[in-house]
Amino acid sequence: MLDPTVQPQGVMPPEWAPHSRTWMAFPPANGTFGQPGSETLQRARQAWAAVANTVIGYEPVSLLVDPADLAVAGELLHPNIEIQEANLDDAWLRDSGPTFVHTAESDGAGVAAVDWVFNGWGAQNWAEWDNDSRLASHIAELTGAPISSSKLVNEGGGIHVDGRGTVLLTETVQLDPGRNPELSSSATGKTEVEAEIHRQLGTTKAIWLPRGLTRDYDEFGTKGHVDIVAAFTGSGALLLHTQQNPDHPDYEVCREIRQALQNSTDAEGNPLRIVEVPAPAVLQDEEGWVDYSYINHYVANGVVVLCAFGDPQDEVAAEILAQEYPDRSIELVEARDIFAFGGGIHCITQQQPAPLH
């Protein structure tokens, strides 16, 4: 069970707060990306590199690279990107990396690193995590940030904060029997999860989504990560993925999620200002119903890195994000290959906030 005596290290700032840098990982050869020399592995590396090469135009980027892949990474990456060697199982650093928080004490570092338990998105039979389960502590060591260890199985893609005390969670993630079986079967499971999340992130109010998008429950899904469904903005809005075509199963899913959100209030007691972001027009790929989503963007210093799908809705989404972030550039980066491997731009990036002091 979770320890109720653990004190919080600090407060997780919102993504739009100033960053010191962005952390990413370079796709290694594995069962998801393909074996060395494969066309799929090359596609993955080019897609990840395109994101890193965009972010480096706005803030420092540190990229974890498996020792076997140093040469090929150097060929694809902007020379200003810092490469750090690390043994990798996968490359979804939003989930396997630490969640950084501002520290409560003036300890010289200014930030601490929350080290959740990572077990391959609920110990899924295709996943490996021996190396990735150690990445949060490895990055903390590289940055000099103190570690706040949690017993909660959780991933960075499963949380989203507004910077004013509110955090979004999903019932099928934090209460997943493959992640936290003792909490999923407990009448007080939600309460215990909320208490641990609040201790680690400094939040005071949790809003629970009932589920995530349909494809996220396929074999290689996360079982409902919130960062593909809803995201707060610096203007105080809540961006919500909206499937407008009733032929897609997410049409009803989005209606269910909106119903849950429109009946919720934030930590300050205010109703949520929901801004719908239409899903891309495309409905399916070769694997089935797509979960293409503009919600899975990344907010960095001076920029919003937005998923592009070669779709007419790309520009619609870019305009919505421009309205919410008028002080930032909007950079559209092709994301279909990233989604084909199981995630989006937000899933492969992790912000390290600038210290307060």
CA end-to-end span of the chain:
35
Q: For tokens 């890193």, name the residue.
A: 52
The C-alpha R_g of the chain, in whole angstroms, comes to 19
Active-site amino acid positions? 347
214: how many CB neighbours lie within 10 A of its CB? Answer: 19
Backbone dihedral angles phi then psi of residue 308, each to the nearest 5 degrees? -120, 145
Question: Hey, CA dihedral for 304, 309, 310, 312, is it positive or negative?
Answer: negative
Residue 254, C-beta contacts closer than 8 angstroms, at least 6 positions apart: 240, 241, 242, 243
57: tokens are 């135009």
Q: Which two tokens mark 327?
A: 């002080």
DSSP state of 213: -
Is the distance from CB of 305 to CB of 345 less than 8 angstroms?
yes
How does DSSP assign 231-297, residue by residue? EE-TTSEEEEEE---TTSTHHHHHHHHHHHHHT-B-TTSPBPEEEEEEPPS--EETTEE----SSS-
Q: State which amino acid sits at residue 310.
A: G
Phi, psi of 125 (to 5 degrees): -70, -15
Token pair for 296? 């899975």
Q: What are phi and psi of 313, to 5 degrees?
A: -80, -10
Decide: 314 and 332 in contact? Cβ < 8 Å: yes
Question: Which residue, 175, 192, 153, 156, is CA-closest to 6?
Answer: 192
